[in-house]
Amino acid sequence: MKLPFLKPVVPPHVFVLMEGGVTYAHVRREEPAGISFSQHFVYPPNTLGASASGTPLFSAGAVAPAVEAARRFGQGHLSRASVVFPDSWARILPVEFDSLPGSPEASREMVAWKLKKLLPGLTAELEVVFLEMTPAGEQKRLLVAAAPADMVRSIEAAFEEKGVRVGALAPSSVVLFEGLAPLLSSRSAGDYALIHRSTGSFVFLVARGETPIFFRQRPSEADEENHEQELRLSLSYYAEKLNGPGISAVYLHDAAPAESLPLESLPVAPRALSGGLFGADPTFDERLAARPELLPGFAAVYGR
């Protein structure tokens, strides 16, 4: 039974899954916010399978070293955790509806049905998470992240076998926005943009307050000219189709900083997301420089 007026306790543990390994972090929410402990683990050989869609299937052995280290750091206290996975393992897109059912489960079923029509090439069963977007006229809109169900279930089962129940489980850009939106909106004079580039995915999002207005995801392997064109088209759509009044701030998280990123078309100079935005401890940015995936992991705990 949940006690009234009290938020559920969010565990400080988060595991960030990547193509070659998993990064664990123990997040500190109290001031100064930061990461008390983090470590990256390469997946042991022969612990990952492959689904028909090409995304990985996890065994308990894949996450065992990270879970065991987390449990040692927590002196045995590890029963629940958040898990973040790459954007490239999901399809993330805005979806419009004439109306939505009242219950979350009925809404999830309607979203899954609509995705089958929008993405006919995807035949695998999908698990979805979604956020409300600003309406477009009379149309209701949701930002939907859809991932192969067999992959999602394998992640949950792998952690469950090691004694860890997965709470939040979502792709990194969704987690990054949802976790930091209250802070970013308070630091922005109006609409603001978030750019998140990671291995295999380039995301451009515009938000008003804590609600997304525009979202676009493209493969990050595209060349600089294509990224520049995507930004120009996105800004044009925001202004002309969504009647956007203008972007007051742009925040950037680049998990592939060795590659150049064309940003000349942006209306304001982007600000890199860093510990200075939320008064983090001095070691926070050093950790991010070494392991950029820690920022979505931090957001998964900090903003909940």
* Residue 6: predicted pLDDT: 41
The domain of 237 spans 186-276
Region of residue 76 (left: phi > 0; alpha: psi -120 to 50; beta: else): left
State whether 191 and 144 are in the same domain: no
Which of 215, 209, 204, 207 lies closest to 185, judged by CA? 209
pLDDT of 275 reads 93
Q: Is residue 133 part of a domain?
A: yes
Residues 141 and 197 in one domain: no
Report d(CA 154, CA 199) in Å as an integer. Answer: 22
Is the residue at 94 inside a domain? yes
Q: Which of 91, 11, 92, 85 is nearest to 48 (CA)?
A: 85
**Has residue 246 been placed in a domain?**
yes
Domain stops at, among 102, 127, 148? 148
Per-residue pLDDT of the chain (304 residues; tens, 9 = 90+): 333 444 456 899 999 999 999 999 999 998 899 999 999 999 999 999 998 888 999 999 999 999 999 999 989 889 999 999 999 999 999 999 988 888 888 888 899 889 888 887 777 788 999 999 998 888 899 999 999 999 999 999 999 999 999 999 999 999 999 999 999 999 999 999 999 999 889 999 999 999 999 999 988 765 556 778 889 999 999 999 999 999 999 999 998 765 667 778 899 999 999 999 888 988 999 999 999 999 999 999 998 7
Please list, in sequence order, all residues whose beta carbon lies within 8 angstroms of the beta carbon of residue 233, skipping any fewer than 6 positions away.
none
* Residue 219: CATH number of its domain: 3.30.420.40
Max Cα-Cα span within the chain: 55
Minimal CA–CA distance to 58: which of 69, 67, 68, 47? 47
Q: What is the pLDDT, as a whole number, of residue 119?
A: 82
CA-to-CA distance for 276 and 199, rounded, in angstroms?
Answer: 25
Q: What is the pLDDT of residues 246-294, one digit of tens each?
A: 999 999 999 876 566 777 889 999 999 999 988 898 899 999 999 999 9
Structural domains counted in the chain: 2
Question: Could you tell me if residue 213 is inside a domain?
Answer: yes
Question: Do 205 and 133 share a structural domain?
Answer: no
For residues 197 and 266, membership in a common domain is answered with: yes
pLDDT of residue 246: 95
Question: ∠184-18-57 over CA atoms, to 5°?
Answer: 125
Shared domain for 134 and 190, answered yes or no, is: no
Q: Are residues 197 and 126 in the same domain?
A: no
> Hey, which bits of 43-79 come out as E strands?
48-50, 56-58
Helix H or strand E segment including 236 = helix 224-240
- What pLDDT shows up at residue 4? 41
Q: Is residue 57 part of a domain?
A: no
Beta strand spans in the chain (E)? 13-17, 21-28, 34-42, 48-50, 56-58, 80-85, 91-97, 126-132, 140-148, 165-171, 191-198, 201-208, 211-218, 247-254, 271-272
Contact 3, 250 (CB under 8 A): no
**Helix and strand counts by DSSP (H, E) for the chain:** 7, 15
> Do the domain assignments include residue 138?
yes
Same domain, 137 and 216: no
Check residue 99 and give its pLDDT: 87
Point out the domain boundary residue: 148, 165, 198: 148
